[in-house]
Amino acid sequence: MLKIGLTGSIGSGKTTIARIFQSLNVKVYYADIEGKKFLKNINVKENIRSIFGNSVFNNYSEVDRKILADIVFSDYESLKKLNNIIHPLVENDFKDWALALSSEKYIIHESAIIFESGLQNNFDEIITVTAPEELRLARIIERDNVKDEDFYKRVSNQWDDDKKIKMADYVIYNDVNHLLIPQVLKIHRKLLDCK
């Protein structure tokens, strides 16, 4: 079984691409969604509390993701501390998930920060999704109802597309000039043909 990393900057359309692969019966692990689930874990909450204090918790003792995001995307060291709590859990969870799917031809791990986290060697191939910055900005403002500066704070913690493209095995262009489905199908066929 091949393990495929699917990455791209915020607003590039990774999730859209992942869903197209899912429509082809490819199993997809969404690292961000799974990572958020760990915020409910008692040990994770205590680690977060010890680093960030009580201000990142709501009245129900749940992590307030908006407050936490405001902190970590404004301060790289804080982001590293949070990632050091969550990323090992996500990595182990993915390994267990992949093990249960060992009969699949290939599976996909979708994450915005595969390269930034140094996880590229965990995958047989990597697909990078790219889109022009102005298009990504418009998508995020519409999707998350955020201000421009929130977008740029998050982007500042990610590699630029050129760097990701150079390190990727495949590139999907998610802009107004390229159709998505033919690009996905081409990669899908190649991955199915891999030994």
For the stretch 8-17, pLDDT in tens is 998 899 999 9
**Mean pLDDT across 42-60:** 95
What backbone phi and psi angles, to 5 degrees, belong to 178? -125, 135
pLDDT score, position 195:
54
Q: What's the pLDDT score for residue 18? A: 97
pLDDT in tens, 113-127: 899 889 999 999 999
Q: Is 68 left (phi over 0), alpha (psi -120 to 50) or beta?
A: alpha
Where are the domains positioned within the chain? 2-193
Q: How far apart are CA 139 and CA 82, in angstroms?
A: 26
Per-residue confidence (pLDDT) for residue 141, from 0 to 100: 84
Q: Which residues have C-beta within 8 Å of that of residue 146, sequence separation ≥ 6?
A: 140
Judge whether 15 and 140 are in contact, CB under 8 Å.
no
Question: CA of 129: how far to CAs of 65, 70, 97, 144, in Å?
Answer: 26, 25, 23, 19
For the cut 90, the answer to whether the pLDDT of residue 140 exceeds it is: no
Could you give the percent of the chain with pLDDT greater than 70?
99
Q: Give the Cα separation of 96 and 29 in Å (integer).
A: 11
Residue 194 has pLDDT above 80, yes or no: no
Q: How confident is the model at residue 142 (pLDDT cuts 50, 70, 90)?
A: confident
**Distance from C-alpha of 100 to C-alpha of 11, rounded to nearest angstrom:** 30
Does position 151 have pLDDT exceeding 90, yes or no? no
The encoded tokens of residue 104 equal 């699949």
For 143, counting Cβ atoms within 10 Å of its Cβ (0-12 exposed, 13-18 middle, 19+ buried), the class is exposed
pLDDT tens figures, 85-98: 999 999 999 999 99
C-alpha 112/C-alpha 20 separation (Å) is 17
CATH of domain 2-193: 3.40.50.300
Report pLDDT for 41.
94
- pLDDT for 149 equals 80
The structure's pTM equals 0.91
**Summary mean pLDDT of the chain:** 93
